[in-house]
Structure 1
């Protein structure tokens, strides 16, 4: 058998090998990209959740200090000396978590996270005794709740979580309004 007689079979083998390699390469690259995207999505979720939990702990300390200072709609007063130390520690933890949000978050979620912690700082002015207006405290608490909702809305969108944001837990709650009347 002459070489020329075997050439079509040889070309078929070469084309089949190249096609098989290309298909396997594309499939493997697609798998790798998908795995990488899933890993980043999980990292974003953990970063956003960690930041929110850290900020919520800071908020709770500020609210307890607010209760000590006599502000409405908060309970469980915290001794001022202990509370100020806890508040400083909570702010340090928040600042450390913030760096991860800056690194991994999209622009809208980072802006919402910044607005939320700035609203918390405003509440802290009351908790620290630097402001003493009860109506201002309530406005600051309301703004903080709105900023929180915006952060969660942006984070959910960035994470691809469908559906509307659950109803807000703004204060004072309806059951508190009834008891205040």
Structure 2
């Protein structure tokens, strides 16, 4: 009788151990899957935001250089406004997904970009210095890489 109880206890302990180890492995696999999924979303958002910033900046620069009152200028300004709306939506997605440092870097990019858009709308001769936006975008890229766990680029100091 005692041997049967010991055998039954051994089977129960084995079943419980098997269940717990399987549950822990499944939980870990689920966490890894979710982390990968969110990292993919973050990467796509970072890339889309950076692309849209370049699109807004390019349209603003071309609009600022176009002759006042021309159809080309009106079209470029409309293109700039449309791209700015997309950038605004992408920034909201970025705020939801990104690390605080990356959000702060993107906000600095936004401020510089808004200055360029204002210069384009007013057709000011003195634009935002192109290097400023480039430097801010480099900081944004570094923060995005850090958030995604990607080593910083070796060509940067």
Is TM-score (shorter-chain normalized) higher than 0.5? yes
Unaligned stretches of 5+ residues in structure 2 = none
Q: Which of 78, 83, 86 is the equivalent residue of 1:90?
A: 83
Unaligned stretches of 5+ residues in structure 1 = 70-77, 168-181
Give 1:43 shift.
Answer: 0.7
Q: CA distance change for structure 1 residues 129 and 54 in 2, over 3 Å: closer, same or farther?
A: same
Q: CA distance change for structure 1 residues 142 and 96 in 2, over 3 Å: closer, same or farther?
A: same
Supply the RMSD in Å over aligned alpha carbons: 1.8
Q: Deviation above 6 Å: which 4+ runs of structure 1?
A: none
Give 1:140 shift.
Answer: 2.6
Q: Which of 80, 103, 111 is the equivalent residue of 2:73?
A: 80
Instruction: Find the aligned partners of 2:10 and 2:25 in 1 and give their Cα distance.
Output: 22
Contact 1:123-1:141 within 8 A present in 2 as well: no
Q: TM-score, normalised by structure 1?
A: 0.78
Is 1:144 the counterpart of 2:133? The answer is: yes
After TM superposition, list the pairs within 5 Å mapping 1:26-105 onto structure 2: 26-68=24-66, 79-105=72-98
Instruction: Count residues in correspondence.
Output: 153
Instruction: Find the aligned partners of 2:17 and 2:93 in 1 and give their Cα distance.
Output: 43
Larger gyration radius, structure 1 or structure 2: 1
Structure scoring higher RCO (CA < 8 A, sep ≥ 6) equals 2
Q: CA distance change for structure 1 residues 166 and 68 in 2, over 3 Å: closer, same or farther?
A: farther
* Alignment-derived partner of residue 174 in structure 1: none
* Alignment-derived partner of residue 160 in structure 1: 149
Instruction: Find the aligned partners of 1:114 and 1:166 in 2 and give their Cα distance.
Output: 25
Give 1:45 shift.
Answer: 0.3
Instruction: Find the aligned partners of 1:144 and 1:56 in 2 and give their Cα distance.
Output: 10
Range with bigger deviation, 148-157 or 57-66: 57-66
After TM superposition, list the pairs within 5 Å mapping 1:12-31 onto structure 2: 12-31=10-29
Is 1:125 the counterpart of 2:123? The answer is: no
Secondary structure at the residue paired with 1:43?
A: helix
Give 1:125 shift.
Answer: 2.3
Q: TM-score, normalised by structure 2?
A: 0.89
